[in-house]
């Protein structure tokens, strides 16, 4: 079936939702791939979060998919429009690695862990349970959320493939 093989792509600092097939994003480093899933309506959503907070934004028009604090509310809004319910949503996430280790305690360099913390805070605010996560480490990840059952497939060069 054609529908089965539908893969919606999410770029860097981008978000999207889908009802069929799966949704994927590639090459997560310090970015966090946050996924929301409604098991009843089988709607899946994914955000490729690059930065923890829009407070630091210096850009003219805000790309709300880029920041954890704006991407998650938008993802919820888009999913609700399609028929998902906030009370049913469950979250999984991956990424937030620290690709290179530095002795200089520059906060910018700790961006991965900060993205993860910020995403968790946002999930707490919206009362969405975080079912599983594969975050941290020093390696990149490609993730794909399957709408059939909400399985999150994680692939990495060094650590192989795992499902959460």
Partner 1 sequence: MQLHEILGEFKLDVLKEIGNIGAGNAATALSRLLNRPIDMAVPKVRLLPFECVADEVGGAEQVVIAIYFRVEGEAPGHLFFIFEIEPAKKLLSYLLKMSTEEEYSFSDMEISALSEIGNILAGSYLSSLADFTHLAMSPTVPQLAIDMAGAVLNYGLIQYGEMGDSALLIDTKFLEGCEEIQGTFFLIPDPDSFSKIFAALGVPSE
Which residues of this chain interact with partner 1, rule CB under 8 A? 11-14, 26-31, 50-51, 56-60, 63, 66, 97, 99-102, 104, 108, 111, 138-142, 156-158
Q: How far is CA 160 from CA 57, 100, 143, 155, in A?
A: 35, 20, 12, 6
119 assigned to active site: no
Catalytic residue among 10, 28, 31, 111: 31
Cβ 129 to partner 1 shortest distance, Å: 27
SS3 61: coil
> Please, are residues 141 and 95 in contact by the beta-carbon 8 Å criterion?
yes
Cβ 105 to partner 1 shortest distance, Å: 13
Q: Please, which residue, 57 or 130, has the CB nearer to partner 1?
A: 57
Q: Please, which residue, 80 or 113, has the CB nearer to partner 1?
A: 113
Q: Please, which residue, 40 or 102, has the CB nearer to partner 1?
A: 102
- Structure tokens that stand for 141 in this block: 């990840």
> Please, are residues 140 and 29 in contact by the beta-carbon 8 Å criterion?
yes
Which residue, chain included where needed, has tokens 């599983």? Answer: 132
Cβ 137 to partner 1 shortest distance, Å: 11
**Alpha-carbon span 156 to 144, nearest angstrom:** 12
Catalytic residues: 31
């Amino acid at each position: 079936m054609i529908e089965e093989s539908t893969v919606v792509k999410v770029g860097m600092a981008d978000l999207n939702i889908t009802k069929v097939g799966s949704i994927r994003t590639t090459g997560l480093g310090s970015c966090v791939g946050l996924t929301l899933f409604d098991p009843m309506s089988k709607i899946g959503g994914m955000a490729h979060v690059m930065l923890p907070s829009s407070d630091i934004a210096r850009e003219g028009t805000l790309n709300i998919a880029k920041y954890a604090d704006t991407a998650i509310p938008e993802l919820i809004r888009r999913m609700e429009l399609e028929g998902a319910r906030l009370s049913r949503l469950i979250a999984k996430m991956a990424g937030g690695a620290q690709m290179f280790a530095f002795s200089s305690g520059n906060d910018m360099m700790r961006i991965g862990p900060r993205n993860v913390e910020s995403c968790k805070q946002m999930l707490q605010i919206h009362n969405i349970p975080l079912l599983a996560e594969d975050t941290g480490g020093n390696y990149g990840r490609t993730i794909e959320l399957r709408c059939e059952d909400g399985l999150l497939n994680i692939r990495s060069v060094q650590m192989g493939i795992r499902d959460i």
